Amino acid sequence: MRSNTIKLGDARAPHRSLLRACGLDEQDFHKPFIAIVSSHIDIVPGHVHLNDVALFVKKCVRDAGGVPFIFNTIGVCDGIAMGHDGMKYSLASREIIADSVETMLKAHCFDGMICLPNCDKITPGMLMAAVRCNIPTIFASGGPMEAGRSADGKALDLISAFSGAAAKINGKISETELLHIEQNACPTCGSCSGMFTANSMNCLCEAIGIALPGNGTILATSQYRKTLYKKAAKRIVQLADPQGEAANLPRDIITKESIDNAMVLDLAMGGSTNTVLHLLAVANEAGLDYSMRRFNELSEQTPNICRVAPSHDYHIEDVHNSGGIYTILGEIRRGRPGLLNEKVPTISGKKLGKMIDEYDLRSPKALGEMQKMYSVMPSGIKNAKAMSIQSRCRKVADLQLPFDPFDCIRTCENAYSQTGGLAILYGNIAPKGAVVKTAGVLPEMLKHSGPAVIFDSEPEAYEGITTGKVKAGDVVVIRFEGPKGGPGMQEMLGPTAAIKGVNLDNSVALITDGRFSGGTAGACIGHISPEAAAEGPIGRLRDGDMIEIDIPGRTLNVRLSEAELQSRPLASASRSDTAIGGYLARYRAMATSADTGGVVR
């Protein structure tokens, strides 16, 4: 065992003495040491319950025969950090998380690790650390939040609050209406209830094979999460035991083939554009040569069979009751045979194809246990306690769902589109690519041309949109917000929500070298590479330039000759960066553009 380095032999008597002070006894020195990497943080709703989760998992690891140790990471709530300088730290925090987990694992010689992430940068940061350190690892997230409800029963979520705020500023709704949205949009603990970045990444962990089934869709309030955590604890002790079976390590699981599988899932369910950024970063960490162009190749073959908020009224709870991630994968397997690599290993010890057999609710080989797992519904109780809600039915068929599960997760023949929910665009504005969530774009905005209205920061853009500077037909350009330029590559949820809030989402597009929240919908194109701060062409645009967007054609151009574009001087950011220091200054100096994942080098 790796932990023998710190617990066996006469020379390690001081080490054992310190471990005894932590509560260990003689028998513990012959058991695997398991790290429980919690991201419990009281100010992040996706993480506020993770102390209880970590303590439960700790007990489960003990019961399974391991010696558990909890340590914590930092985590930024993108919603709370949104719209001010705090957002500059969000993407940059991913690197801190990866480095801190690596530090703990290497310094203390753990034999295995259970990661308890939930929100945006925490899951990819832990994934980067997992492939870097390459010890047996299982991801077991904190679970998604229940959707909120308005007085008339309409589903609400965080994006409802952002759009409501813009609508109130623009005089579209009253103060009372905004307060009602605010009080009901985020009713429980858990990662925000749509297919935003946090839930997208937790779902992708199932397709990659580093998490057990249900990781991405079992609600944080569901008692069935305890079953998931018990399974994860038992499995990690098995994998960390040198007398047990040979473990599939993170680098055995996270390969080009499994990243392809994850991307197929993402395209099928129209996940967050940030998943592109994070999958590239994880691939980079694993030493894999994985290009943005691969996403378009897969998109051409992958139908978009599931749409979830912000692209639809469905939420993660509805996906779960419809059969979860493995049912989406099952529909892809039925409709597109051979697209998924079913022979890749998973942390369960079974190949992906076998897992689809057993956990696809529509499979004739599905385990009977699946009925129980997929039948836990949202409680509808504000601030319901984590892991507390039991199923009211024994079978999914007995649920009185207010929707058709075969509409929430469609067959390939009945897909929303026969190509995936994400696309990579190229052109003279984005020579190295840009990303758009096609699943969230209105049909009339798939092709759009209009004059550029340029802003050099996210706050400037939000103010310009809400005060009427942007008109129907325009293309909002937000630059100097990439990894270097921000620094930190801020999410543009404020401006995108504002466009919707002032009823311009059917006539205005937005392009940026920054990125979007997973909650963004509309003709919003991000990750433009190279970014303005890296002398990318977006830094040469001027107000009034005609921008041409062709999402089906995968192009993004300005109507200028190459000679004219290159002859223009690069703009300088209109804002002052004199306050940038500390970690952000170091991040800026080392960060790459989005086409390589925004990693530091």
Catalytically active residues, by annotation: 517
Whether 379 contacts 389, CB under 8 Å? yes
∠344-206-64 over CA atoms, to 5°?
A: 95
3-class DSSP string for 257-299:
HHHHHHHHHHHHHCCCCHHHHHHHHHHHHCCCCCCCHHHHHHH
Q: Residue 136's closest CA among 178, 105, 175?
A: 105
Residues in the chain: 601
- Extract the tokens encoding 301: 């073959």
∠588-594-596 over CA atoms, to 5°?
A: 100
**Bridge partners for 310 per DSSP:** none
Q: Residue 327's closest CA among 258, 394, 409?
A: 409
Regarding beta strands 555-558 and 67-72, do their DSSP bridges make them parallel or antiparallel, or are they unpaired?
Answer: unpaired
Query: What is the distance of C-alpha 263 from the center of its chain?
Result: 12
DSSP annotation of 570: P
Give me the torsion for CA of 536, 540, 541, 545, rounded to 10°: -120
Whole-angstrom distance, CA of residue 436 vs CA of residue 454: 19
- H or E segment to which residue 34 belongs: strand 33-38
- Extract the tokens encoding 272: 């967050």
- Extract the tokens encoding 240: 């960390």
> Sign of torsion, CA 213 218 220 221?
negative
Provide the greatest CA pair distance for the chain. Answer: 76
Whether 403 contacts 382, CB under 8 Å? no
- H or E segment to which residue 565 belongs: helix 562-567
Whole-angstrom distance, CA of residue 155 vs CA of residue 170: 23
Whole-angstrom distance, CA of residue 264 vs CA of residue 295: 9
